[in-house]
């Protein structure tokens, strides 16, 4: 129940800044990409567990919202790389800070539940 509340809270946070949950996940995937270049479309599809055509549609909508931009790869014209715009970068930074704070609170709640559960399941000889 606690995790589901967190997911709902996360969806609400994204909506409050004009993003869908999938767009928020896209921004996190772009921001978290490791490597010297921005992620390629196929990287994003892999990160988000999407078919490539679904990733393209998601990027289309995020681009229309002004949070990402596409750029053809300089080395291989067949590859499209996806970058955060200034707006997208600011949104993902703010959302990430809020999520980290909420996760910290959630960890405390889950730890308390775990401790309570351990006390409830002690053997009579303890």
Bridge partners (DSSP) of residue 72 are: 80
Q: For the chain, what is the domain count? A: 1
Asked whether residue 12 carries a pLDDT value surpassing 70, the answer given is yes
**Both structure tokens of 33:** 């990409």
CATH number at residue 67: 1.10.10.10
Structure confidence at residue 56 (pLDDT): 98
pTM: 0.87
pLDDT tens across 13-25, in order?
Answer: 999 999 999 999 9
pLDDT tens across 60-117, in order?
Answer: 999 999 999 999 999 999 999 999 999 999 999 999 999 999 999 888 888 888 888 7
Residue with tokens 């993902």: 92
* Structure-derived torsion over alpha carbons of residues 65, 7, 26, 98, reported in degrees to the nearest 10: 80
Structure confidence at residue 110 (pLDDT): 84
Domain presence at residue 125: no
Domain presence at residue 126: no
pLDDT tens across 42-57, in order?
Answer: 999 999 999 999 999 9
Q: How buried is 83 (Cβ within 10 angstroms: 0-12 exposed, 13-18 middle, 19+ buried)?
A: middle
Domain presence at residue 31: yes
Structural domain for 14, as ranges: 2-120
């Amino acid at each position: 129940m606690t995790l589901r509340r967190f997911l709902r809270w996360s969806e609400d946070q994204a909506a409050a800044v004009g993003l869908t949950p999938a767009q928020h996940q896209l921004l996190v995937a772009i921001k978290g990409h490791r490597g010297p270049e921005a992620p390629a479309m196929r990287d994003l599809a892999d990160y988000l567990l999407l078919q490539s055509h679904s990733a393209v549609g998601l990027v289309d909508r995020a681009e229309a919202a002004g949070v990402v931009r596409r750029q053809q790869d300089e080395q291989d014209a067949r590859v499209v790389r996806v970058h955060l715009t200034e707006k997208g970068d600011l949104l993902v930074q703010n959302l990430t800070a809020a999520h980290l704070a909420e996760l910290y609170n959630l960890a405390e709640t889950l730890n308390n539940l775990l401790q309570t559960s351990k006390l409830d399941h002690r053997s009579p000889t303890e």
